[in-house]
Structure 1
Amino acid sequence: MTLTPTPGQTVGPFFHYALPFEGGAELVSAGHPDRIRLHGTVFDGAGDPVPDALIEIWQPDGAGNVSSATGSLRRDGFTFTGFGRAQTDRVGHYTFATVAPGAANEGGAPFFAVCVFARGLLDRLFTRAYLPVSSLALAADTLLNSVPDDCRATLIAEKDADGYRFDIHLQGEVETVFLDHGGR
């Protein structure tokens, strides 16, 4: 007799099955004048790309306003919800089409809030991708200053021709700093 596998016996992750949605990585339309690209690669502890991760971002708009629009999955071409979800491809790369976030508070450093779901993780991971637009704002950021000096660079995206690159290292020598939000 063959028994049906229980959830504890199945193989996963299944992020690519139900979580991605149409236009999830496109926070702004192709013709948006301030459109940039946030992209990067997710790496495991051995330095190999993770082809089955899911990345979510939350962000304010370019003026630093946090959206209060109902329904973060809305993609109507003009309502900016500040939420996006992208899966990594075969080589661990993800990409979002969005706008550079403005600082949510005066003198603050602009950043993307990032959430990572990946194989081998029992829970999601939270981090930030700060934009290197103002060394003064980065130097004044409370959270960034709470991170040891030698780890801060893992939270700062790199400017490139289309926008910003933010690689995520789940473990290893250059492990990205992940944040503890207590109750999760």
Structure 2
Amino acid sequence: MVQSLGYLKETASQTAGPYVHIGCTPNFCGIEGVFPTDLGSGPLYNDKTKGERIKVRGFVYDGTGTALKDAMVEIWQADADGFYNSPSETRGKADPNFFGWGRQPGDMATGEFCFDTIKPGRVPFRDSDPRPMAPHILFWIVARGINIGLQTRMYFSDEETANAEDPILSRIEHQVRVPTLIGKRQGDTYRFDIHLQGPDETIFFDI
């Protein structure tokens, strides 16, 4: 018997909700004993890691300028010499004491996220175009109301020369929006706020 094509319906999609934190950061949610620590939590380095220790702090703001208190942020970056901790890294050996990836939920009271990491080195644009990109950190953001995780980058305010040479930043049509990708240095901390909408909307990348 031929099944009616209308019998099976597409499952409704749903934005990121509380299950994101329950599944990805159970200890943060108070669900302890499943894993010793939440995957990606804590510093991205240990006492043997090469490079300058820094913090990256920020908020994820909605279109009204309100900080989201249920966002989850992941970062991915190169080590101090510009190598990724990845099996696909073929240019050289990455620092075995640097993890390169982290995950943090925003503080449930304030919404602020914070990563303890190192300042990354420069990496080539691509194999066919070895121009070095400026030091940067890749960001992935999910939260209630976001259907698909958003991708962006944070560059460094004290890398003006490298930023001016960066092949990605130079391709941005509206150069007045480049500052939305720049983390501002404050001592050993870089402040990087992410705006989902509004006049200061962060540039997001279709990756």
Q: When the two structures are superposed, what TM-score results if normalisation uses the length of structure 2? A: 0.73
Q: Which of these residues, 17, 20, 35, is aligned with residue 15 of structure 1?
A: 20
**Higher mean displacement: 32-41 or 118-127:** 32-41
2-side partners of 1:28 and 1:87: how far apart? 19
Q: Is the contact between residue 17 and residue 143 of structure 2 (CA under 8 Å) also seen in structure 1?
A: no
Q: Is the contact between residue 39 and residue 93 of structure 1 (CA under 8 Å) also seen in structure 2?
A: yes
Q: Is the contact between residue 54 and residue 88 of structure 1 (CA under 8 Å) also seen in structure 2?
A: yes
The 3 A distance-change label for structure 1 pair 39 and 31 is farther
Specify the alignment match of 2:166 in structure 1.
141
Residue 93 (str. 1) matches residue 98 (str. 2): no
Alignment of 1:21-60 (within 5 A): 21-22=38-39, 24-29=41-46, 34-60=52-78
Q: Which runs of 5+ in 1 are unaligned?
A: 1-5, 71-77
Q: Secondary structure at the match of 2:59?
A: strand
Q: Which runs of 5+ in 2 are unaligned?
A: 1-10, 26-37, 89-95, 125-130
1:72-98 C-alpha deviation (Å, 9 max, x unpaired): xxxxxx631200000001211000011
1:98-145 C-alpha deviation (Å, 9 max, x unpaired): 101111136430000111011101100000001123322111112111
- Alignment RMSD (CA, Å): 2.5
Specify the alignment match of 1:3 in structure 2.
none
1:31-58 C-alpha deviation (Å, 9 max, x unpaired): 8673210111111111001000010100
How many residues of Structure 1 are paired with residues of Structure 2 in the alignment? 169
**Higher mean displacement: 123-132 or 31-40:** 31-40
The 3 A distance-change label for structure 1 pair 52 and 28 is same
**Higher mean displacement: 87-96 or 98-107:** 98-107
1-side partners of 2:20 and 2:81: how far apart? 32
The 3 A distance-change label for structure 1 pair 30 and 88 is farther
Q: Which has the larger radius of gyration?
A: 2
Residue 155 (str. 1) matches residue 207 (str. 2): no
2-side partners of 1:104 and 1:31: how far apart? 22
User: Percent sequence identity over matched residues?
Assistant: 38
